[in-house]
Amino acid sequence: MSAADPDPAAELAFLAAEIARHDRAYHDADSPEISDADYDALVARNRALEAAHPGLVRADSPSVRVGVAPVSPLAKVRHARAMTSLDNAFSGDEVAEFVARVRRFLRLADDEPVAMTAEPKIDGLSCSLRYRDGLLVQALTRGDGQVGEVVTDNARTIADVPQRLPDGAPAVFEVRGEIYMAKADFAELNARLLAEADDPARARQFANPRNAAAGSLRQKDATVTASRRLRFLAHGWGEASAVPGGTQGEVIGAIRGWGFPVADAFARVADLQAALAAYRAIEGSRADLPFDIDGVVYKLDRLDWQERLGFAARSPRWAIAHKFPAQRAQTTLERIDVQVGRTGKLTPVARLAPVTVGGVVVTNATLHNADEIGRLGVRPGDRVVLQRAGDVIPQIVENLSRDEPRDAWEFPTCCPQCGSLAEREPGEVDWRCSGGLVCPAQRVERLRHFASRQAMDIDGLGTTNIESFFADGLIGTPADIFRITEATLLARERWAEVSARNLVAAIDARRAAPLDRFLFALGIRHVGEVTARDLARRWTSWAAFDAAMARALAVREAHVPALGESDDKALARLGKELAAVLETPGVGPEVALALADFLAEPRNRAALDDLLGEVAPADVVHA
């Protein structure tokens, strides 16, 4: 079931969960799922809704959050001074508006020059290096801006990071910058990983230098970090007992003098026109730089003005990132595959003749949904224009062969995995497999989601093991996971006593998982981590939540017989009634409908009851 257009509160709840999910994919899993441009669009939509409805701003709003709380096994430490994000500009006009805002805020005369610094926005992993009495004592990743991961031993292996500051440096000083991997070093690392792999088809390969740098720095074993050539580029500072200068340029100059690399293109620009000229120059040299960049950062040069301007919720008012437009290339669309996700969503993927875009070889691109295919009119054999927006996920933006007289590509009417009918609910753009638990793709994806880090977090039960166990009939439902024994594992190839014991122990440790993790792990549509946490905080125990859902199901049962298949208005009314029964902040009609639909499905309820025979959700919320 689906409701009509969500109300503002429901959409803000969706945006908070969706943006949080993408933050985790980028910052914690080092595996972004959407382009920078698509992410920025989500953030802009959230900002517009909050401006129109200030009373609906959520406590977990993306507008007050930076990055994502780290969940890795590395130790966590609170930053002495928060590591904030930057607002973005996508045109010269937006940069001009930034300068105008600065003038208005500071009440500057029209002829008062606004000098800034300009430097490349490197695509790396933010890191803060803390020095006390001249010695490097701590290195932290940005994390969520308030709390970062401790990577001190790893950072000490990086040649660009001085172990000691020269005499005369402040007693306490945090140098901040980006840890990155040069393009040539990235290519060498992937080649080495391929050569060292027992099975080249299963060799670990990093998608891009940013992922490689993040994965290499956040190792528990610093010798792994040392074996991969990482670099550091300084661009600012955090806590400091004294600041060696009165301008941004003077302090960066002092940091450079202490032995830290600073971008060669770093420069002071006298005004807006000089800033835009610097942007064009840096953009023109982009392909020749040894590292990836995605824009230019401007910062007010005068530190006293920076102090007066201060910070908004998640970014400084005295700095902005001027992002580059997407990079493009032409290639041939060889075929269109349809993938099946854990909720049954059918996603078309373009398989392309390999093409290099921005230094990365691209062979796949998202086509989003059937409507996007219709809009582009793409078919196998078409010549297409490919774009890597934000240098992350490629997408097709133009079909150069549209006018060629060939039949249109038809979206499948049946699931390519199980043959079940493909359905599209009223008001939705995505087609979904109706096979539910009988669809192998959905069952594997649901199991993978259930065991994932953000859900039940079962260490050692990754994609490879889940697919192998499922293929052999060892597991088919989440409850089956908790029936795995050491004896069963030892009877399988390549399982030793220690690995079998460790996996069973990891599974047993999740028999009392926090309630919010359990709810998220069920894979209910629209119930992301934030929504699961909202529900867990409201109802505090599984028994209380289940009782509330029983009341909601009674309301649903009274309405469903009278609903037509496409009665969106009636569905919207029902969603509002269900949301009122659940009375949980952040849970609107769409989420309430999804919860009720999930629990009203007999096969889902049977699988859930089976799972509750193995697991007792704890009456706590994961911190």
E strand or H helix at 516: helix 515-521
Q: Is 195 helix (H, G, I), strand (E, B) or coil?
A: helix
Q: Which residues contact 115 (CB under 8 A, 6 or more apart)?
A: 268, 269, 270, 271, 300, 301, 302
Whether residue 570 contacts residue 559, with contact meaning beta carbons closer than 8 Å, is answered with yes
Helices (H), 139-291: 152-155, 183-196, 209-217, 222-226, 248-257, 272-284
CB atoms within 10 A of CB 17: 24
Q: Which of 121, 323, 345, 569 is catalytic?
A: 121
Whether residue 417 contacts residue 439, with contact meaning beta carbons closer than 8 Å, is answered with yes
Estimate the share of the chain in helix, then strand, then coil, as percent rounded to the nearest 5.
40, 20, 40
How many angstroms separate the CA atoms of 552 and 570, rounded?
Answer: 16
CB atoms within 10 A of CB 166: 10
Which tokens sit at 288?
Answer: 């020749």
Q: What is the DSSP string of 8-57?
A: HHHHHHHHHHHHHHHHIIIIISS---S-HHHHHHHHHHHHHHHHH-GGG-
Whether residue 556 contacts residue 600, with contact meaning beta carbons closer than 8 Å, is answered with yes
Q: Which residues contact 558 (CB under 8 A, 6 or more apart)?
A: none
- The residue among 386, 127, 108, 101 whose CA lies nearest residue 234 is 127
Q: Which residues contact 168 (CB under 8 A, 6 or more apart)?
A: none
Active site residue 121: yes
Helices (H), 400-509: 440-451, 463-471, 478-481, 486-490, 497-508
Q: What is the dihedral of CA 355, 359, 363, 368, to 10 degrees?
A: -110
Report which residue type is found at 244: P
For residue 537, what is the DSSP state?
A: H
How many angstroms separate the CA atoms of 510 and 292, rounded?
Answer: 40
With tokens 């088809």, the residue in question is 201
Q: Which residues contact 233 (CB under 8 A, 6 or more apart)?
A: 122, 124, 160, 177, 178, 180, 261, 262, 263, 291
> How many CA atoms, within 13 angstroms, populate the side-chain half-sphere of residue 376?
26
How many angstroms separate the CA atoms of 364 and 202, rounded?
Answer: 19
Which tokens sit at 397?
Answer: 């933006």
SS (H, E, C) 266-287: CEEECCHHHHHHHHHHHHHCHH
Report which residue type is found at 104: R
Active-site positions? 121
